[in-house]
Amino acid sequence: MTAKQENGNGTTEKVLRVGLLGFGTVGSSFAEVLSASGAQDVRITHIFNRDVARKRSHARARFVPAEAVWTERVEDVLEAADVDVVVELMGGLDPIEGWLRSALNAGKHVVTANKQLIAYRGAALFELVASKGVQLLYGAAVAGGVPVIPGMSQGLSGDQITRISGIVNGTCNFILSSMEAGADYSEVLKTAQRLGYAEADPSADVDGFDARAKLCILARIALRAEINPEDVPAQSISQISAVDFAYAKELGCTVRQVSRAQIDGDRISARVGPMLVPKNSPIAWSHGTQNMVVTSGRFGGDVVFSGHGAGGHPTAVAVMSDVRAVAEDSHAVRLPAKKVEVSGGVIAPHYLRFVVADRPGIVAAIAGALAKFGVNIDSILQHRGFGGDRLPFVVTTEPSNSATLDKAIAEIGTMDFMLEAPLCLQILVVDDPDTD
Amino acid sequence: MTAKQENGNGTTEKVLRVGLLGFGTVGSSFAEVLSASGAQDVRITHIFNRDVARKRSHARARFVPAEAVWTERVEDVLEAADVDVVVELMGGLDPIEGWLRSALNAGKHVVTANKQLIAYRGAALFELVASKGVQLLYGAAVAGGVPVIPGMSQGLSGDQITRISGIVNGTCNFILSSMEAGADYSEVLKTAQRLGYAEADPSADVDGFDARAKLCILARIALRAEINPEDVPAQSISQISAVDFAYAKELGCTVRQVSRAQIDGDRISARVGPMLVPKNSPIAWSHGTQNMVVTSGRFGGDVVFSGHGAGGHPTAVAVMSDVRAVAEDSHAVRLPAKKVEVSGGVIAPHYLRFVVADRPGIVAAIAGALAKFGVNIDSILQHRGFGGDRLPFVVTTEPSNSATLDKAIAEIGTMDFMLEAPLCLQILVVDDPDTD
């Protein structure tokens, strides 16, 4: 696939020719990281982007070899005989999928940071890749510069991972860790938008759709389970308020958007949403936009990967590492996955926060509804300092099935004293046993 | 290299035949992990150990296929035509190096957990491996079940790592994290010995020689630097006492055995020893026997790998992952390293603890000696509650060259009021900038 090139010493050396789709933050950072690496065996030969004239004046365009072809026609890259690997850094499903299928069909390798594509169309693409004998690498699709995909693929292939828990959306982690430090949700969301961490429409981040796609990618590698992202319940972080951090603190916890999938025989549970995280759990360590993934293996116990999950340079490191793997024909270990239905319900302790108009009998009514569904109460917490006309209080449950709990909550939500929809969050439990 | 075998469906399938050297804790755990994986393409065919009769009655011997050959003659494994990969889980330099060279020369792959071998003889072995076109994998040699070697090799090959800091000796981490919680050094060392974490002669652990070998292995991959382990200064943790944890706490720190190497152009500094670690640094997170490695990349910033660094099962996961990579012919990315001299001195703030017979003029004498060598004092700390006849007090310095400081300390150590050799520890600084 790669071209042989005369080098200065009169000998020839393989060069991997890169066709780059997208010269935005990540694409231009990739050009810089490649240039800085001094690698003689990888070279950008083509760049596709809209408005090439503007892109060529980008400060990082100086990292692109002068002889590279800049084009606004994607076919110029996909059909080029002198492109060995297409590096796609644009994102989205369509038309990208069609473009990358053309490239793969033409025998080109593909490196991509496209989480939606791998989460939603990965299974079919992997089949195509296997039939063509090329590589499709996507280490940058989850957790940017944190090498969790290569680390799991190569370093944990010998274990049986039963659970994966991650902080894979830096925007939510920035928002929630700022709220932990006292910031208000809407204020910190505005800050995140100003800093470029959050989109004008923040839904993909705060409502968990971005994290859900990433969780499905990780589940395929870690749990060998092909899950449909649409089947994973996603709960928004937008309901979380200062009072939840106060109660969480009382419980020795904080609140983070956690993406979690667990396999138990043929049954898989998966969920994305704000959860109570014990302060002594690694998940509570990450702050700001950091990402973290914790795998729990049958034999190896818990393994933590953490670092910068986003940003041009960290993401470009992941892309560059994949390109190096292609250049050296270093294929990953095969991790065959099978299609699994998400069964939803999780057995876990839960945090229930109610906002009520205070009057006698409220606790009895709520406790009664929970008892009816077989949910045991672990504790009832009520902070002072709130007026009775709008009283937030918290019930924690003993380990309960979340699906059952949902039914109880639905019933409680209709009670006449309830001023807001009840908030129900899973409480994570630290349980990595010592392994021997 | 691998045998083709008829499977039940009348088609043939490649089988990788494993010759196992050593059926101790890790070797028998490997047999269990392999058996539990259900892999049909990897099979143990030979096991070498002393006293085979006893080993065959080991509870985990049931995980070894009945037809496997058990032998007390290593040649039976090294010379077997039906062994594709030798898995060495015995440790030590000699006679292991000769055995593995025979295996490599015979065209067999090697997977090993042997840190001494890779640290001291790795460079020559890698040359042999390259000339033979076989694989030598050693993911289990550092941090057991934490996939830092495959994670760095595959996932960070695109970055330029400038520094690596690790907690790679679980015994020292157990001792120091227990001391942080109030335990006494000699008591906790005894506990570690009773639990099997520490040897009867604990020197390899507490004096830093074990960690030093691991640091050199990591430096080769991360910094692409071939360092002689003997050139890395190793400081014992045995000088650390409760008073150091009390002062460290006052400075917002704790004490851990840290292994650290940093490259700056052609200059490399490396050191193993107890250091003051800020509580908000990832390095302070690990407790008990956990291991942790933090890489600092020019483009990707800080990446953390953490988990169970030792124990039969976690180490066996790393071995099994390497065996899978061999079975699937998945070679790692080449990371050529060059030989570099360790230059020793580090510019960093330092913690100096003195135990003196109190009398007027001590601070002036010490400050004078430091000033003579151009070392600036940042703070002087003195806890109440100690008698003047044996007074421990602490001086912290502004960033200073450790080599210069060593000279100042040598001079101070001779002063007549000094009751113990002064203790000098590097203070780590948290400085991962946000990357973009």
Nearest to B323 by CA among B16, B5, B13, B2: B16
3-state secondary structure of B168: coil
- Interval A70-105: pLDDT, tens: 999 999 999 999 999 999 999 999 999 999 999 999
Please give, rounded to a whole number of angstroms, the shortest distance from the CA of A329 to a CA of chain B. Answer: 8
Q: Are A315 and A113 in contact (CB under 8 A)?
A: yes
Nearest to B433 by CA among B299, B268, B341: B299
Percentage of residues in chain A having pLDDT higher than 90 = 82
Last residue of a domain, which of B116, B137, B158?
B137
For B109-132, the DSSP string reads EEEE--HHHHHHHHHHHHHHHHHH
Task: Give the pLDDT confidence score for residue A383 in this predicted structure.
Answer: 79
Percentage of residues in chain A having pLDDT higher than 70 = 95
- Interval B310-326: pLDDT, tens: 889 999 999 999 999 99
Question: Is 70 exceeded by the pLDDT of residue A210?
Answer: yes
* One domain for residues A228 and A294: yes
Task: Give the pLDDT confidence score for residue A388 in this predicted structure.
Answer: 67
Cβ separation B334–A318 shorter than 8 A: no
Please give, rounded to a whole number of angstroms, the shortest distance from the CA of B71 to a CA of chain A. Answer: 26
Which helix (H) or strand (E) element contains residue B254? strand B253-264
Is A342 domain-assigned?
Answer: no
Mean pLDDT over all residues of chain A?
92
Distance of CA A1 to the CA centre of its chain: 32
* One domain for residues A360 and A420: yes
Spatial distance between the Cα atoms of B220 and A179, rounded to a whole number of angstroms? 42
B325 contacts on A by Cβ (under 8 Å): 154, 157, 333
Report in angstroms the alpha-carbon separations of B73 from A45, B14, B50: 57, 27, 8
- Interface probe, candidates A29, A302, A303, A434, chain B, greatest B C-beta count within 10 A: A303
**Closest residue in B to A326 (Cα–Cα):** B333
Cβ separation A155–B159 shorter than 8 A: no
3-state secondary structure of B43: strand
Beta-carbon count within 10 A of A131 CB:
10
Burial, A309: exposed, middle or buried (Cβ in 10 Å; 0-12, 13-18, 19+)? buried
CA atoms within 13 A on the CB side of B51: 5
CATH number for the domain harbouring residue A419: 3.30.70.260
Is B336 domain-assigned?
Answer: no
* One domain for residues A153 and A118: no
* One domain for residues A286 and A175: yes
Task: Give the pLDDT confidence score for residue B253 in this predicted structure.
Answer: 97
Beta-carbon count within 10 A of B129 CB:
17
Number of domains present in the structure of chain B: 3
Is B316 domain-assigned?
Answer: no
- Interface probe, candidates B13, B195, B308, chain A, greatest A C-beta count within 10 A: B308
Q: Tens-of-pLDDT digits for all 436 residues of chain B?
A: 455 554 444 445 689 999 999 999 999 999 999 999 999 999 999 999 999 999 999 999 999 999 999 999 999 999 999 999 999 999 999 999 999 999 999 999 999 999 999 999 999 999 999 999 999 999 999 999 999 999 999 999 999 999 999 999 999 999 999 999 999 999 999 999 998 888 889 999 999 999 999 999 999 999 999 999 999 999 999 999 999 999 999 999 999 999 999 998 888 999 999 999 999 888 988 888 899 999 999 999 999 999 998 889 999 999 999 999 999 988 888 888 999 888 868 899 999 999 999 888 999 999 999 999 999 999 999 877 766 688 899 999 999 999 899 999 999 999 999 999 999 999 999 776 544 4
Q: Is B28 annotated as a binding residue?
A: yes
**Closest residue in B to A309 (Cα–Cα):** B300
Spatial distance between the Cα atoms of A2 and B117, rounded to a whole number of angstroms? 36
Is B328 domain-assigned?
Answer: no
Q: Tell me which amino acid residue A90 is.
A: M
Task: Give the pLDDT confidence score for residue B10 in this predicted structure.
Answer: 45
Q: Does the N-terminal peptide bond of residue B95 adopt cis geometry, omega within 30 degrees of 0?
A: yes
Task: Give the pLDDT confidence score for residue B196 in this predicted structure.
Answer: 85
Task: Give the pLDDT confidence score for residue B257 in this predicted structure.
Answer: 98
- pLDDT class of A433 with cuts at 50, 70, 90: low
3-state secondary structure of A54: helix
* One domain for residues B257 and B284: yes
Nearest to B405 by CA among B342, B341, B352: B352
Please give, rounded to a whole number of angstroms, the shortest distance from the CA of A109 to a CA of chain B. Answer: 17
Is A191 domain-assigned?
Answer: yes
Q: Are A242 and A217 in contact (CB under 8 A)?
A: no
Cβ separation A299–B321 shorter than 8 A: no
* One domain for residues B93 and B119: yes
CATH number for the domain harbouring residue B114: 3.40.50.720
| Domain assignment of residue B37, given as a range | 3-137
Provide Rg for chain B, Cα atoms. Answer: 24
Q: Is B214 a catalytic residue?
A: yes
Across A72-106, b (16+ Cβ under 10 Å) vs e yields eebebbbebeebbbbbbbbbeeeebbebbbbbbee
Cβ separation A300–B333 shorter than 8 A: no
Last residue of a domain, which of A279, A306, A333?
A306
**Closest residue in B to A330 (Cα–Cα):** B331
* One domain for residues B111 and B65: yes
Is B401 domain-assigned?
Answer: yes
Q: Are A414 and A408 in contact (CB under 8 A)?
A: no
Q: What is the mean pLDDT of residues A402-428?
A: 95
- Interval B57-79: pLDDT, tens: 999 999 999 999 999 999 999 99
- pLDDT class of A11 with cuts at 50, 70, 90: very low
User: For A332, which of B157, B307, B330 is closest by C-beta distance?
Assistant: B330
Least-confidence region, from A34-38, A96-100, A307-311, B64-68: A307-311
Q: What is the mean pLDDT of residues A410-425?
A: 95
Last residue of a domain, which of A276, A306, A336?
A306
Q: What is the mean pLDDT of residues A412-433?
A: 90
* One domain for residues A152 and A132: no
Task: Give the pLDDT confidence score for residue A242 in this predicted structure.
Answer: 93
Q: Are A320 and B153 in contact (CB under 8 A)?
A: no
Q: Are B173 and B264 in contact (CB under 8 A)?
A: no
Beta-carbon count within 10 A of B19 CB:
28
Q: Are A252 and A153 in contact (CB under 8 A)?
A: no
Task: Give the pLDDT confidence score for residue B287 in this predicted structure.
Answer: 85
User: For B436, which of A158, A311, A328 is closest by C-beta distance?
Assistant: A311
Is B217 domain-assigned?
Answer: yes
* One domain for residues A156 and A75: no
User: For A300, which of B288, B317, B329 is closest by C-beta distance?
Assistant: B317
* One domain for residues B128 and B179: no
Cβ separation A304–B301 shorter than 8 A: no
Please give, rounded to a whole number of angstroms, the shortest distance from the CA of A122 to a CA of chain B. Answer: 20
B146 contacts on A by Cβ (under 8 Å): 303
Is A388 domain-assigned?
Answer: yes
- Interface probe, candidates B330, B335, B430, B434, chain A, greatest A C-beta count within 10 A: B330
The sign of the dihedral angle between the CA atoms of B257, B259, B264, B267 is positive
Please give, rounded to a whole number of angstroms, the shortest distance from the CA of A67 to a CA of chain B. Answer: 23
* One domain for residues A299 and A376: no
CATH number for the domain harbouring residue A178: 3.30.360.10
Q: Does the N-terminal peptide bond of residue B336 adopt cis geometry, omega within 30 degrees of 0?
A: no
Q: Tell me which amino acid residue A13 is.
A: E
Q: Which residues of A are catalytic?
A: 214
Q: What is the mean pLDDT of residues A375-379?
A: 96
* One domain for residues B153 and B122: no
